[in-house]
Amino acid sequence: MQKKGKAKNSSLKKYIVADRYDGMALEEYLKTVMEVSARQRQKLFFSHGVYVNGVSAHTKRALKAGDMVAIRQFKDSSYGVTPEEGNLDIIYEDNDVIVVNKPAGILVHPAGRTEFGTLANYLAGYFKQKKQIVTIRPVHRLDRDTTGCVLFAKSGKLQTTLEKMLAEGKIHRSYEAVIVGAGSKLAEECPQGIIEAPIAKDVFRPNRRVVASGGQRAVTHFQVLKEGQSFSLLSLWLETGRTHQIRVHLAHSGYPVVGDKMYGRADKSLGRQELHAAALEFIHPLTGEKLKLRAKRPEDFQHLIDNI
């Protein structure tokens, strides 16, 4: 029988409280200094997994300089989703992160009535085959029919760090889109190469987004890569990360993504919007290495580009 406060399959992470944090509440210290997410803090306090000088402590305890704060770190015990066999195009993997090139037609993770056949299910199957138990933690999402780079963290702590980096613009995400219309006209109308328009939920259709004065700030940068009479290829990167941001901004500018049935016009010959998350760039928070990762274009996307 285990003693209270001890946990199998876990270890302790310890910090010594610096002078500048003297008097800070324990929960605030975990949040700001140790960067423990709200979900993890709740789990730790509920399971008596937070200690000050070796004694289990409550959230509001005032810390003193020199105190030792320790939190129990649990190893992953489940994948979080049902593992399935499926094809994966792995762009990069190390001990801490994995980046996968998502194909069109699948979700990043289970949602709504979709429980199986997602990128997360296939990634869990990949880890199971390697006899590793790693909870699937996507750092960001892509729409079902958008292809390209998706970043996953292999620990809860790192997921929190990467999500914070994403919110602060420290993870550079670039996309490619085939748009309806001539790219030179778009460049002429937006000479700065920036589309800045606030985005809000559509009050009549909650799954959609619209440009609205009361919406959240949204900024998309673009560059014309290849111009045609009917279609053009753009490179885009996000300064902000709103739901459907690129699709909404381009449609609002009069140049919807080719095949976008929600914000433009469906194309039965394509079956999806031609949007590709082409690259990720960021400084690895644990190794300090600068990662520049690119996802290969899918065949239908490349075929369109070749015919512009």
Residue 285: inside a domain, yes or no? Answer: yes
Q: How confident is the model at residue 72 (pLDDT cuts 50, 70, 90)?
A: confident
Residue 3: inside a domain, yes or no? Answer: no
pLDDT at 38 over 90: no
d(CA 292, CA 221): 19
Q: Which tokens go with 140?
A: 């960001």
Mean pLDDT, the chain, whole residue set = 89
Q: Print the domain residue range for 258.
A: 169-308
Express each pLDDT in 144-199 by its tens digit.
Answer: 999 999 999 998 888 888 998 998 889 999 999 999 987 666 666 654 589 999 99
Helix (H) or strand (E) holding 299: helix 299-306
d(CA 78, CA 199): 37
Residue 2: inside a domain, yes or no? Answer: no
- Residue 104 sits in the same domain as residue 52: no
Express each pLDDT in 195-206 by its tens digit.
Answer: 999 999 999 998
Helix, strand or coil for residue 251?
A: helix
pLDDT at 115 over 90: no
Residue 1: inside a domain, yes or no? Answer: no
d(CA 188, CA 64): 60
Position 3 scores a pLDDT of: 39
Per the DSSP assignment, residues forming a β-bridge with 50 are 71
Average pLDDT for residues 94-108, to the nearest whole number? 96
- Residue 93 sits in the same domain as residue 182: no
Residues serving a catalytic function are: 143
Last residue within a domain, chosen from 167, 188, 211: 167
- Residue 82 sits in the same domain as residue 147: yes
